[in-house]
Homo-oligomer: A and B are copies of this chain.
């Protein structure tokens, strides 16, 4: 079949390409210089001195409260519950954004999406008619690990640009198998709500790709979670003798929901539960494969999600548990994710209530792998290894909640201010500016019910200083989400 570049991309100028190439070359040169003086080189149990493998399992629209270990009463997730009990369960862990594209830019680059231009006030995510994508100047975890000798696979949803130059294989991944954007896009029959919640796979003309080729269109979504797991298992087996990185980005439980015949109609939570239980089963298969190949002790497995539950879809959306609101908002339910780190040889089992973010995975993984964290740009990524392996407090104390290119909220320690609040995916979505900002102690009040701004103006003042400092250094990247493909017949 074809590629997604069959629609000409008139916005992709040669000049930009050249600049990107130069910047990337500069990074690699810098990296080689710095790596020789690399101080803390953390390996897992290395019988054969092999670098540790890394698997990031990244869900789509999974709610904070949707796993057993995070409190769901009817969704069964025995495999994830076990990983949480044996590893570290992080209860204050944030996605880089409250919607797909910027969140994915954040996890893969370790940089706030605004720096790469992967958030916008024009469109919140990339669409099939988008011409932009993750700039080639950006360095993904895969690109950094490739320099450290890793083989890298991206399995699942990409959503960082579907034109060739933006695809995983052009961002450090050796292998790609998945869909390039959300599973509700390219809708054949339109995306009426009814079709979204009583979906058939043929309603959505989403392509399934292998590397840069479309191999199936529409992708058979019924079996897609199963096939992602199978691809991951195969990649582990094929690469067991060398360090590998798998970024397994399930495109579910984003609507439309699909489960394979083994899971359809099996969960007490309905189709949404079927989907989560199939993902959990897949986690179990991956762990089993690691163990069968003697890789478990030398593999770090990280499980999290891209943003909160899509509440507007009622039972087809997830639950943020006791957290307020969901996807698309900067309330906790929109960006706090159920997160688990697992490695049976090095991780100190614990529940971590300190802050962490998907932004931190870049630095954490690179430090683990002995790969270089780029020194030529501002990073927003903390190395969490001292917490993971030694029980030290999390190094992250500050988090900025962006919506598009604006900062709506800031958390410092246990306190969070809301400068702006706004609902998403509902008619009642007025943008409300708060002056003074709202203030919550979100460890005492995780549901953000009790605004304590009047009692603690000094806390607000302190956080605002950090905000000014952050903004003073911020250089937004060129907006990638506003760019649209100019069709040749126009």
Contacts and interface: CB of A to CB of B under 8 A. Distances in A.
A213 interface: no
B85 A73 contact: no
Interface majority SS (helix, strand, loop, mixed), chain A: loop
A353 B314 contact: no
A72 B444 contact: no
A17 interface: no
A152 to B, nearest CB: 32
A321 interface: yes
Contacts of A445: 315
A268 B353 contact: yes
A478 to B, nearest CB: 37
A183 B320 CA distance: 33
Contacts of A441: 270
B353 A65 contact: no
A71 B74 contact: no
Nearest to A89: B68
Given A321-B65, A322-B319, A445-B315, A414 B268 contact: yes
Contact of A73 (B81, B91, B268): B91
Contacts of A319: 322, 446-447
Interface in A129-153: none
A480 interface: no
A443 interface: yes
A55 to B, nearest CB: 23
A92 B73 contact: yes
B353 A73 contact: yes
Contact of A444 (B91, B269, B447): B269
Contacts of A270: 441, 443-444
Given A351-B78, A444-B268, A449 B71 contact: no
A423 interface: no
Most buried by B among A72, A73, A89, A268: A73
Contacts of A446: 72-74, 319
Nearest to A90: B73
A272 B444 CA distance: 9
Interface residues of A, number: 39
A165 interface: no
A70 interface: yes
- What copy number does this chain have within its complex? 2
Nearest to A74: B443
Contacts of A266: none
B444 A71 contact: no
B269 A65 contact: no
Interface in A254-303: 268-270, 272-273
A104 B70 CA distance: 29
Interface string A320-343: 111100000000000010000000
A62 to B, nearest CB: 14
Given A321-B65, A321-B71, A268 B351 contact: no
B321 A268 contact: no
A450 interface: yes
B444 A68 contact: no
B74 A91 contact: yes
A35 B114 CA distance: 74
A269 B315 CA distance: 30
Contacts of A414: 268
Contact of A71 (B78, B269, B273, B322): B322
A314 B449 contact: yes
A85 B80 CA distance: 12
Nearest to A63: B322
A76 B354 CA distance: 12
A69 interface: yes
A335 to B, nearest CB: 13
Contacts of A323: 73
16 contacts: A65-B71, A65-B321, A69-B69, A71-B321, A71-B322, A72-B446, A73-B92, A73-B322, A73-B353, A74-B353, A78-B351, A315-B444, A319-B322, A319-B446, A321-B321, A321-B322
Interface of A: 65, 68-74, 76, 78, 81, 85, 89, 91-92, 268-270, 272-273, 314-315, 319-323, 336, 351, 353, 414, 441, 443-447, 449-450
Given A73-B92, A268-B444, A319-B446, 10 more contacts: A69-B69, A69-B71, A71-B321, A73-B336, A81-B85, A270-B441, A314-B449, A315-B444, A321-B321, A321-B322
**Which 8 pairs, one residue from A and one from B, show the smallest C-beta to C-beta distance?**
A71-B71, A73-B91, A268-B443, A270-B444, A74-B443, A85-B85, A319-B322, A71-B321
